[in-house]
Structure 1
């Protein structure tokens, strides 16, 4: 696949065969009365790619009256998926931890179902490994029982489904646990998630990018957005006349200006900055305090020895008040073990070097469920960054964890805003793409 920068786009043509689009249309790099693109998606992580692909495929089959090209995907880095999307556990999550009313639960379950089908259809590497959640104390056992009760009761609006079709869980007996995973300690019980798995995140993103481009979408990598102006106004909502985006391509001396009928903020770690470009720069539109994200760094640790051998993902029981899901054991598609992430509040979202000082605490956490680990063989590997909507202690103060924000922004027209998209964002990506498409085309 070819990645083009914005300046190069002025010399290429859009694809043929789009219903309602002119046969061949030269890209315009200046604002005009007619928008250059029907949709502009800001952010080329896995969620932005899923959104862009959904919009491009919808636009390519719809009876579009506009002569604009369908979708422009703007990514500030020189390649897609270089931030949160490529620095995670590559786990396909079940949707167990987020609560019955949470959007995270809804899109995680729907996304997991879509993702397995997508991987099978397009040959993306994946495996349904299952996951053990292990308890060592009575309090941890109680945490597992709460998860099990939630899974049994959660229907997600689908009353006709059997229990194991939504959140399939089962208890693993002590004898079975010893036979299947003899290296794992679980003093107070094991709860098994049958629908958890792993996926090749890079393969997934490249496949989404290929489908996006096949549907007529245009990727502009190395093209950070520096200013956004909603058009229209007066008696109409800001954005009713479209959107003007100022882009400063990497290495370019001048900005490039493009216009779109609608925009989607899927910028991940940069989503608050994109949000504030609009709300703080739009004197005629709704205003409010600037959005702020908080950053949780997760360090990962590699493990080269073949022993102890483990073939299932292992997660400690969730500990209320502790960020994340604990330093867990995951596998890659080759069967290699890795551990992480841990949880560390930081102020710099670009601080992606693995923190070796976190290794002793990680070893202690790992030994609680894998006592035979060779601690000398653990090495800091890489780190990921999760954008949080609340500061340290904010969830405890509000007495609930923050949820994903996926909405048509109130007071504006043609702006879908995605904020706080962290784990399980990879699992949820296709469902979020589906949701954004509905918001854009039906408003619901």
Structure 2
């Protein structure tokens, strides 16, 4: 039977970041990925935004790790020549009644250590982005965009530089705790049994289901899995804006916002639709509703300007009409199984927070 010190389950951005951080500390690490490529699910089906850390409750893991991870990610992108841009973001009030919400957002951001927001008048907004209609806005100059695939390739390369390895097409089917570690059963390209001292469950959409299969893990320590699918449309013509544009947040997400990729292609999304199981099929039936939401801040956009692009599924630990959930990074002090770390509900801002999450996990191991 093969043996390894640490097994990371999941080859998305979180798993790769954890693997690289663990390998950097001198530990032996193996990243197991069920698909035939890295980052094919949540990590590559998002807005690729580097968040500033504005929206999250003070003291939450999302607030702490997003703020810390943002700075780490920008430094890492510079050091590794990962394409990115600090493009800036406008959070717009689409009516005078929403100005109070902007003030609340600014207060929350300041509580999280984000102190570079600027209040803008409607005239200021028009001067920056003439196509926008607003009653005022907040400018976040620290918000940016990044090539998420290039980031994952850089993390995989760093993992390998420090002696780690990513094994594709290898699905974990069972985890059996032992007195001094775990027996991990796999199927696929590398089918068999592996002994490991530490297991880091970064399986994303499958993380909760995987944890539920661990016999000695108390079911009360594993949250219920929920999933929401978000649809993204790309704009058929040139972008009307030079910056990212977000409405004030809505329950379950940040609203249907405008983002840009590194080629300046504009896209809109995501919406929030609750689903029973992950499903990436694109449902175009809500295009008119999408357009109506966009027209509250970009009145020149019509439904005919929107082209179906892709969907992304978020691994949530709260359901509809419930307050937003925080990241869950559960070690033995939470569930009582030495050597096991479960990561649950790592949705937005998981990409931004990925390097900080990885350091947090490495500290738990140490």
TM range (shorter): over 0.9
Following the alignment from structure 1 to structure 2, what is the Cα–Cα distance between the partners of residues 402 and 73? 27
Following the alignment from structure 1 to structure 2, what is the Cα–Cα distance between the partners of residues 309 and 174? 17
Matches within 5 A, 1:158-307: 166-186=114-134, 188-232=135-179, 241-249=180-188, 255-278=191-214, 281-282=215-216, 286-288=218-220, 291-306=223-238
Partner of 2:277: 348
Per-residue CA distance 1:64-99 (angstroms, 9 max, x = gap): xxxxxx101011111110000000000000111111
Partner of 2:297: 369
**TM value normalised by structure 2:** 0.96
1:101 partner SS: coil
Contact persistence 1:143–1:318 (CA under 8 A): no
Aligned counterpart in structure 2 of residue 98 of structure 1, from 53, 56, 62? 56
The 3 A distance-change label for structure 1 pair 286 and 154 is: closer
1:337 is aligned to 2:275: no
The Cα of 1:175 is off from its aligned counterpart by: 2.5
Contact persistence 2:55–2:109 (CA under 8 A): no
Contact persistence 2:252–2:320 (CA under 8 A): no
For the pair shown, the structure with the greater C-alpha radius of gyration is 1
The 3 A distance-change label for structure 1 pair 44 and 167 is: farther
1:418 is aligned to 2:350: no
1:138 is aligned to 2:96: yes
1:185 partner SS: coil
Following the alignment from structure 1 to structure 2, what is the Cα–Cα distance between the partners of residues 189 and 175? 8
Contact persistence 1:94–1:167 (CA under 8 A): no
Partner of 1:88: 46
1:314 is aligned to 2:245: yes
2:118 partner SS: strand
1:408 is aligned to 2:331: yes
Which stretch of the first structure deviates more once superposed, 403-412 or 421-430?
403-412
Contact persistence 1:95–1:167 (CA under 8 A): no
Per-residue CA distance 1:33-75 (angstroms, 9 max, x = gap): xxx1110000111011000000011125xxxxxxxxx101011
The Cα of 1:202 is off from its aligned counterpart by: 0.5
Following the alignment from structure 2 to structure 1, what is the Cα–Cα distance between the partners of residues 265 and 222? 43
The Cα of 1:290 is off from its aligned counterpart by: 5.8
Contact persistence 2:53–2:112 (CA under 8 A): no
* Alignment root-mean-square deviation, CA: 1.5
Segments of 5+ residues of structure 2 without an aligned counterpart are: none
The count of aligned residue pairs is: 364
The Cα of 1:286 is off from its aligned counterpart by: 4.2
Contact persistence 1:173–1:189 (CA under 8 A): yes
The Cα of 1:394 is off from its aligned counterpart by: 2.8
